[in-house]
Amino acid sequence: MNYWLMKSEPDVFSFEDLKACIKQTEPWDGIRNYQARNFMRDDMRIGDLILFYHSNTNPPGVAGIAQVASKPYPDPTAFDKKSKYFDPKSDPKNPRWILVDVSFKADIVRQVSLEEMKSMPELVNMRALQRGNRLSIMPTTRSEFQAIKKAGQSSL
């Protein structure tokens, strides 16, 4: 079991939006960063738990808990000329961009803000909090996940 933090701008796709999806499952499309892609392609397993993080909002922070819901497969938006994620360099025979489906797992009672995360001694080494790290998908340790789950009073 691996643990992850995945960022989303709530104006684009929020944790509430995920809950409202059919089957509460949604393809995590539009990732156009190789490191983030590699995490999905190589390291994610169905059932891995995800801290769903809201970025570019006030305040930013963890809004809920999701899980990996599919094996990796090619991101269809890369081949969709109408999509803003269309990538003419991605060959359908050798897809460049890979995603997984993500599904709702559990609510947290209170959001855990970035400010609060920075104040938590359990998270001093958390990768997502290191300066300059803009990756939208990052591995998280079990203890970091548990600390945030506890701070958010999740029922999980």
Q: Is 134 in the site for DNA (CB under 7 A)?
A: yes
- From the list 11, 109, 121, 132, which residue makes contact with DNA (rule: CB under 7 A)? 132
Q: Which residue has the tokens 């990996």?
A: 68
Contact by Cβ (8 Å): 116, 62: no
Residue closer to DNA by CB (options 33, 143) is 33
Provide long-range contacts, Cβ within 8 A and 24+ apart, for 80-85: 84/30, 85/29, 85/30, 85/32
We find the least distance from the C-beta atom of residue 55 to DNA, in angstroms, to be 4
Rounded least distance, CB 98 to DNA, Å: 13
Tokens of 8: 């989303």
96, 100, 101, 107: CA torsion to nearest 10: -130
Considering only residues 18, 60, 68, 105, which one is a binding residue for DNA as defined by CB under 7 A? Answer: 60
91 binds DNA (CB under 7 A): no
Positions that interact with DNA (CB under 7 A): 7, 9, 32-35, 55-58, 60, 89, 114-115, 131-136
